[in-house]
């Protein structure tokens, strides 16, 4: 395994993403971002809206880089919050995605 892969895995293992995801969800609930009876569908609708906002900023091709980065942060916040709400171990899911992509890269897929 290359040093770059080791560093990437260490970041995921030691980042405390589950704690971060739980805090994202707590804050989203405090600011009433999610409706009563929040479901996976309404959560993914929030993700879609964040992607739309991010793309709207991104279409300015870097002229509004700060706003684009802010919207990207909002998107990450929403995805982590949704994972926490759904009861996912976000660290484990991210590690799994990295492993699948590593295997696909080896296979040339």
pLDDT tens-digit readout, 40-80: 888 888 899 999 988 888 776 656 777 888 888 889 988 99
Whether 54 contacts 74, CB under 8 Å: yes
Per-residue tokens: 28? 């989203």
Q: Can you tell me the distance from the alpha carbon of 77 to that of 63, in angstroms, rounded to the nearest whole number?
A: 23
Evaluate if pTM is beyond 0.85: no
- pLDDT value of residue 92: 92
pLDDT digits (tens, 9 = 90+) for 78-103: 899 888 888 999 989 998 998 998 89
The class of domain 3-107 in CATH terms is mainly alpha
- CA 84 vs CA 28, 40, 45, 91, 99: distances in Å: 11, 11, 16, 11, 21
Report the C-alpha gap between 34 and 79 in whole angstroms. 13
- pLDDT exceeds 80 at position 106: yes
Contact in structure between 67 and 75 (CB atoms under 8 Å): no
| 18 has a pLDDT exceeding 90 | no
* Domain boundaries of the chain, sorted by first residue: 3-107
């Amino acid at each position: 395994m290359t040093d770059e892969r080791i560093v990437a895995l260490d970041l995921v293992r030691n980042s405390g993403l589950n704690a971060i995801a739980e805090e994202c969800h707590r804050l989203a609930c405090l600011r009433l971002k999610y409706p009563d009876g929040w479901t996976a569908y309404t959560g993914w609708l929030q993700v879609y809206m964040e992607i739309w906002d991010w793309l709207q900023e991104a279409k300015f091709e870097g002229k509004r880089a700060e706003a684009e980065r802010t919207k990207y942060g909002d998107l990450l916040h929403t995805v982590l919050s949704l994972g926490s709400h759904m009861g996912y171990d976000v660290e484990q899911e991210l590690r799994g995605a990295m492993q699948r992509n590593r295997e696909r890269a080896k296979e040339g897929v």
